[in-house]
Amino acid sequence: MEQTKVTVGVTAQGARHLDELMDTGWFGSEMAAYLLAVGTALSRGLTPSPAPLKGVTTKWNVGSLDRDGRLRELVGLMGPEGLQDPYEYAERLAEVGLEFLKRKIVDQEQLLSDVLEPGAAPPIEADPEATG
């Protein structure tokens, strides 16, 4: 797994979603909302665009966003096989995660706790070989 990106950011649409989420008062920082969006996308199995994002405005240096490298490791482990750059993929996950969070929290006026509730996630299919 390589790493080529040294900064991450959002598209214009992602920035609008992030602004709307910040206006709810649920998040202490944009970085916290961004990281939650990545985690939400991973935990919900949201599928980001397969193509690299266009028109991304830089928000953070990866050293600030991921000081201990855990984000890189998590995305590398949970991302698709053959993933080349975990930060590029995290950027795409953040976009779909921000859209999901904005739809649930802003548009549908759900509580953050309800959106993050484990029971609200889609069921995970059991591996038939693991149970056999």
> In the prediction, which pLDDT does 58 show?
96
What are the pLDDT digits (tens) for 23-43? 999 999 999 999 999 999 999
Number of domains present in the structure of the chain: 1
What are the pLDDT digits (tens) for 52-73? 899 999 999 999 999 999 999 9
What pTM did the predictor assign? Answer: 0.86
* Boundaries of domain holding 30: 7-131
CA distance 123 to 110: 20
Is there a domain that residue 1 lies in? no
Is there a domain that residue 2 lies in? no
Task: Give the burial string for 39-71 (b: 16+ CB within 10 Å, else e).
Answer: bbbbebebebeeeebeebeebeebeebbeeeeb
Is there a domain that residue 37 lies in? yes
Q: Determine the Cα angle at 40 with ends 35 and 44, to 5°.
A: 160
> In the prediction, which pLDDT does 3 show?
65
